[in-house]
Structure 1
């Protein structure tokens, strides 16, 4: 596929139906990586269907989509990112931080700058609402995601250790 022409824009509730198949894909991807860590509820897509419009309406959240241009009319949504401001426990100097919950780019549009553009726009929007730090998690096995995040200025800070009991 030729390099993507795309636009990053705020998502609206009307975008949610187009994002839901990507939600299903990201959830399946995570479960395949670590079924114990990422054990999803059976109705995860329906939960996102209710949660995403709330993120779109919340001025302290970001929900952005990447629209492809030149590939379909109207443009197709080929990626999304969603995050929100979260409170720290009251022992840290930083009261709150931005947390990126999900980032997804459709496979045909990967390695064309879409994820980087989504991340950079999310960073700019969180900065504009006063965030001083952005956090995210990515699976150890997702080396490409780590590299993309590092190119946008993220650094590894912790390792998530899990033990089933």
Structure 2
């Protein structure tokens, strides 16, 4: 059962919506006050990633095994941001591999292809954020060459 990675297509919308919603629910479970959980998160993700498929500075990839989509990665070129003290870069915004397909190399294949595509878009580095409670993701990213550079902190405004 070989895993392959390819650019996402409009026909992948259902799988992208399902997996994107799973990612949102995971983050909401980490910190419900910080991470949103819209009513129809699947539809929202289908819309968002469907729109991003058409953007020339966005990269949306899927991992397949035996014709079934088992994971995806989404990133986009981010321009210089004086507020974030960041030059133009690639932003890795999402990566998800279905639980039954984890430890198959799908995640590694997704990020390596994403890095190749960002290189072709001329960005010098790829930046990502990881939920502080998602230690497994942080270990995965560290194994693949990312290093910590910022810590986001959240505080609710009192009533």
TM-score computed with the length of structure 1 as normaliser: 0.88
Shift in Å, 1:90: 3.9
Instruction: Confirm whether residue 64 of structure 1 aligns to residue 61 of structure 2.
Output: yes
Question: What is residue 31 of structure 1 aligned with on the other side?
Answer: 28
8 Å contact from structure 2 (residues 58, 76) kept in 1:
yes
Question: What is residue 79 of structure 2 aligned with on the other side?
Answer: 87
Question: What is residue 149 of structure 1 aligned with on the other side?
Answer: 141
Query: Secondary structure of the residue that 2:53 maps to in structure 1?
Result: helix
Shift in Å, 1:162: 0.7
Superposition RMSD in Å: 1.6
Partner Cα separation in structure 2 for residue 16 and residue 48 of structure 1: 9
Partner Cα separation in structure 1 for residue 75 and residue 121 of structure 2: 13
Unaligned ranges ≥5, structure 1: 70-74
Partner Cα separation in structure 1 for residue 76 and residue 41 of structure 2: 18
Of 102, 106, 126 in structure 2, the residue corresponding to residue 110 of structure 1 is: 102
CA deviations on 1:77-119 (whole Å, 9 max, x unpaired) are 000001111223247572x221111110000111221111111
TM-score computed with the length of structure 2 as normaliser: 0.91
Query: Secondary structure of the residue that 1:57 maps to in structure 2?
Result: coil
CA deviations on 1:45-100 (whole Å, 9 max, x unpaired) are 2222222122212221100000012xxxxx11000001111223247572x22111
More displaced stretch, 42-51 vs 115-124 = 42-51
Question: What is residue 129 of structure 2 aligned with on the other side?
Answer: 137
- Length, aligned pairs only: 156
